[in-house]
């Protein structure tokens, strides 16, 4: 994999540091997360969300509390 160096201001570096989910996360990972967050949802994801919303509206779901009771989990 080819690597490259980019120049950023200290302000941007500080902002990227704030966005890290864990201390050893690389700047590349942070930047990819930002890119992913700005992309439009795929058609399949949109269909899945619509299906889930419909199931919720029709009470076709089980709560975590009920699921724990069903399987006797604390």
Q: What is the pLDDT of residue 2?
A: 93
- DSSP H stretches of helix in 1-74: 10-19, 27-38, 43-57, 64-70
Q: Which two tokens stand for residue 10?
A: 């200290």
In the predicted model, residues of the chain with pLDDT beneath 70 are none
Indicate the domain borders of the chain: 9-39, 41-74
Q: What is the pLDDT of residue 68?
A: 95
Q: What is the pLDDT of residue 15?
A: 97
pTM attached to this predicted model:
0.59
- The rounded distance, in Å, linking the Cα atoms of 28 and 1 is 13
pLDDT digits (tens, 9 = 90+) for 20-37: 999 999 999 999 999 999
Q: What is the pLDDT of residue 43?
A: 95
Q: What is the pLDDT of residue 74?
A: 84
């Amino acid at each position: 994999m080819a690597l490259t160096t980019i120049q950023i201001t200290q302000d941007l570096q500080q902002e990227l540091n704030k966005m890290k989910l864990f201390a050893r996360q690389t700047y590349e990972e942070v930047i990819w997360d930002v890119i992913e967050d700005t992309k439009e949802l795929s058609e399949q994801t949109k269909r899945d969300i619509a299906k889930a919303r419909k199931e919720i509206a029709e009470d076709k779901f089980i709560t975590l509390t009920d699921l724990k009771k069903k399987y006797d989990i604390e």
